[in-house]
């Protein structure tokens, strides 16, 4: 699908973004959350990103939210303030159509414009499509953490990737 709009987050997006995220919590190890956060928790998270001036992008088509992407601080300490970690979540019906690529391109551009210096991707190691996507944008693998997440009754490795903005 190429007929969609990328726009900034709005508070009316909270229910749709929460529902998209809930799918990944319940069905995948893409996130290591094991309990679905409610709309108030998601609104607080997004509000914090907005307060910090971080990019939070929503993709929509004819009023339907297709996915979202944001860049958040990698670590809370002040020395890390120019390093962000990316997150991209798509409605399950919208995967494999190039939307993740479009969101990542916009996220990189906005993050650079906002003055961030490095972007990190923290990816469950068996999520090859996400690793390949990041590689296409010039991210390099910089680390592998073995068996650091336990979800769905098994251990998961995590790949760290990095790109200078």
CATH number at residue 46: 3.40.630.30
pLDDT of residue 152: 97
Cβ neighbourhood burial of 67 (10 Å; 0-12, 13-18, 19+): buried
Phi-psi category of 12—alpha, beta or left, where left has phi over 0 and alpha has psi -120 to 50?
alpha
Q: Output the average pLDDT for the chain.
A: 96
Q: Length of the chain in residues, anyone?
A: 165
Q: What is the pLDDT of residues 46-64, one digit of tens each?
A: 999 999 999 999 999 999 9
Question: What is the C-alpha end-to-end distance of the chain, expressed in Å?
Answer: 28
Percent of the chain with pLDDT over 90: 98
Contacts with 145 (C-beta within 8 Å, 6 or more apart), sequence order? 157, 158, 160
Mean pLDDT, range 64-75, rounded to an integer: 96
Q: Kindly tell me if the per-residue pLDDT of 1 is higher than 90.
A: no
Q: Kindly tell me if the per-residue pLDDT of 2 is higher than 80.
A: no
Q: Could you tell me the pTM of the whole model?
A: 0.96
Q: Which domain holds residue 26?
A: 5-164
For the chain, the domain total comes to: 1
Q: What is the pLDDT of residues 75-132, one digit of tens each?
A: 989 999 999 999 999 999 999 999 999 999 999 999 999 999 999 999 999 999 999 9
pLDDT of residue 17: 98
pLDDT of residue 3: 85
The secondary structure of the chain, three-state, reads CCCCEEEECCHHHHHHHHHHHHHHHHHCCCCCCCCCCCHHHHHHHHHHHHHHCCCEEEEEECCEEEEEEEEEECCCCHHHCCEEEEEEEECHHHCCCCHHHHHHHHHHHHHHHCCCCEEEEEEECCCHHHHHHHHHCCCEEEEEEEEEEEECCEEEEEEEEEEEC
């Amino acid at each position: 699908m190429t007929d969609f709009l990328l726009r900034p987050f709005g508070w009316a997006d909270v229910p749709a973004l929460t529902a998209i995220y809930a799918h990944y919590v319940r069905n995948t190890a893409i996130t290591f959350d094991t309990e679905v956060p409610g709309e108030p928790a998601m609104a607080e998270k997004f509000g914090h990103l907005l307060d910090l001036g971080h990019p939070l992008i929503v993709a929509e088509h004819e009023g339907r939210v297709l996915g979202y992407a944001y860049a958040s601080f990698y670590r809370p300490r002040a020395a890390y303030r120019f390093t962000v970690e990316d997150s991209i979540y798509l409605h399950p019906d919208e995967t494999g159509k190039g939307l993740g690529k479009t969101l990542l391109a916009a996220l990189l551009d906005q993050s650079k414009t906002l003055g961030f210096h490095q972007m990190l991707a923290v990816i469950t190691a068996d999520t090859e499509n996400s690793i390949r996507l990041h590689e296409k944008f010039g991210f390099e693998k910089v680390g592998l953490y073995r068996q650091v997440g336990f979800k769905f009754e098994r251990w998961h490795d995590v790949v760290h990737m990095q790109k200078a903005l």
